[in-house]
Structure 1
Amino acid sequence: MYTVKDKSYKLELEATMLNINGAHNRKLKEACRTLKEYAIYTDKIRKYAEKMSLEDAVERAICECIEEGILEEFLKKHRAEAKAMSIFEYDQEKHLRMEREEAWEEGRREGEENTKRIFKLSLMGKTSKEIAEVCGIPEEKVKQILE
């Protein structure tokens, strides 16, 4: 915790996200056994979730991991919590992925609409500078689209 008397100070945080799914970041996973085992566990959940309900997929992954000695002690001791958290995290990941896909699709549609608008304004005799002002984009972008 910290206290700041002068409210003009701000804290900036930069985080690096690393993908530990599948074959990504092998060196990192080899350096940390628990991280490697967690990646195996989550990969199993993803694989099984394609063929069965998420709850069944998590249960199967937990059973297999315990049998294979992957996160064995933790999963035996905290099975219920691990199951609940895995279902929550997987649902959250799926939700975020769907939101990203929807945002991408919305951006694509907006891009198409802007392109149509640019062509329509051009056909009406507007200059690239006028179109740029109306659309709120750089004139170079308008010229690029019209080429």
Structure 2
Amino acid sequence: MSENILTAKTIELGASFDNQEEAVRYVGGMLRDQGYVTDEYIEQMLEREEVTSTYMGNFVAIPHGTEAGKKAVKETGLAIVTVPEGVEFGSGNTVKLLIGIAGKGDEHLEILSQIAIVCSEEENIDTILNAQSKEEVISLFNEVE
């Protein structure tokens, strides 16, 4: 995975949220603060959740913007947040791992495939959730090519 897509600045370990909207806004804010997206993209991420939940199972959600939100993407980026206590997504789905995506053009497809590879292994999700450092998370994603 490209070095500038996932950095220590786009990883937050041990966060806590009261609800899904707060969690999505937080992940979107991380993408914005690193210059990947504009504020408009965060609203598009929330709109996506209204259309269809980004909950993927296995305690994982992958918040991202709608098709219309693509114009708010400045460059491809990724934000990862662990939520040890979990946050409810939709009705009864608990999310402990949030992976926010902003993809320029079709680059999000490559990122999604790498995320799918990592998250298909339950032990990888456990590794991320139990990570003691941001570097552990980065190295796990960098192993996937």
Structure with larger RCO (C-alpha < 8 A, sep 6+): 2
Scaled by the length of structure 1, the TM-score of the pair is 0.28
